[in-house]
Amino acid sequence: MKKVLALVLSILLLGVLTGCPKRPLVPPVDQARLDAEEAIASASKAIDAAWEVGADTSIAESLLEEARSAFAAGDYATATSKAWEAEATANAAREEALARAKEEEKVVEEVAVEEVAEEAARIYVVGTWQRDRDCLWNIAKKPRFYGDPWKWKRIYRANTDKIKDPDLIYPGQKLVVP
């Protein structure tokens, strides 16, 4: 029992001796300076990230320069707010540049798909059955097209304006082979 009581008293004594400090560990002026330094560093990183994706960072850079000037003058509150503003501006410019790049990429993809579709669509002139054995099945089977006779339906779907019955194609007909 005495050991337990001694242990409890020693814990209480340690708690009182090592309790919360009465004053902050870092003086407020130093804390403001540290906050400003951190905000400036964060803004600088945001500007670098925006610049890497091709964003216009001129406004953010001028705000960061104002923050650095205020920091040098000892006005840490202004330096912090200008740095935060510079970071927000850089992030907005970065997002805008990424959205613009995504739209441009989409347009380029659409153009590329259209070009591939135009290149891929070929015209085939149907020959005679006696000489060429042309039917949709045999045309699809040709190595220069699909190499697979089961893909004859692609040719039929692409030419429904010219072919009413897939079993009847005529010599001289010009078929689109996608």
- What is the predicted pLDDT for the residue at 72? 93
Stretch (H or E) spanning 125: strand 122-125
| CA distances, 101 to each of 48, 104, 108, 119, 139 (Å) | 17, 5, 10, 27, 42
- Check whether residue 128 and residue 163 sit in a common domain: yes
Instruction: Give the three-class secondary structure for 174.
Output: strand
Boundary of a domain, candidates 71, 97, 115: 115
Same domain, 63 and 80: yes
For residue 164, tell me if it sits in a domain: yes
Do residues 62 and 85 both lie within one domain?
yes
Q: Are residues 96 and 173 in the same domain?
A: no
Which of 64, 86, 115 marks a domain boundary? 115
Q: Which of 97, 115, 133 is the last residue of a domain?
A: 115
CA pair distance 26, 160, nearest whole angstrom: 81
Separation CA 1–CA 155 (nearest Å): 97
Question: Is 6 part of any domain?
Answer: no
**pLDDT by 10s per residue, the chain, length 178:** 777 777 777 777 666 666 655 555 667 778 888 888 888 998 989 899 888 888 888 999 999 999 999 999 999 989 999 999 999 999 998 899 888 888 877 766 665 555 555 555 678 788 777 777 878 888 888 887 888 888 888 888 888 888 888 888 888 888 888 8
Q: Is residue 141 in a domain?
A: yes
17: left (phi over 0), alpha (psi -120 to 50) or beta: alpha
Burial of 9 (0-12, 13-18, 19+ CB in 10 A): exposed
Q: How many domains does the chain have?
A: 2
Q: Are residues 150 and 70 in the same domain?
A: no
> How distant, in Å, are the alpha carbons of 44, 67, 124 from that of 97?
18, 24, 46
Domain extent for 164: 121-177
Contact by Cβ (8 Å): 82, 44: no
For the chain, the distance separating the N- and C-terminal CA atoms, rounded to the nearest angstrom, is: 94
- If asked whether residues 40 and 99 sit together in one domain, one would say yes
Give helix 58-72 / helix 28-52 axis angle, nearest 10°. Answer: 160
CATH assignment at residue 153: 3.10.350.10
Residues 106 and 125 in one domain: no
Task: Let me know whether 105 and 134 are in one domain.
Answer: no
CB contact at 8 A, 100 and 59? no
Question: Residue 21: in which H helix or E strand, if any?
Answer: none
Shared domain for 129 and 156, answered yes or no, is: yes
Between CA 115 and CA 166 the distance in angstroms is 28
Please report the pLDDT score of residue 2 as a whole number.
74
The pLDDT of residue 35: 87
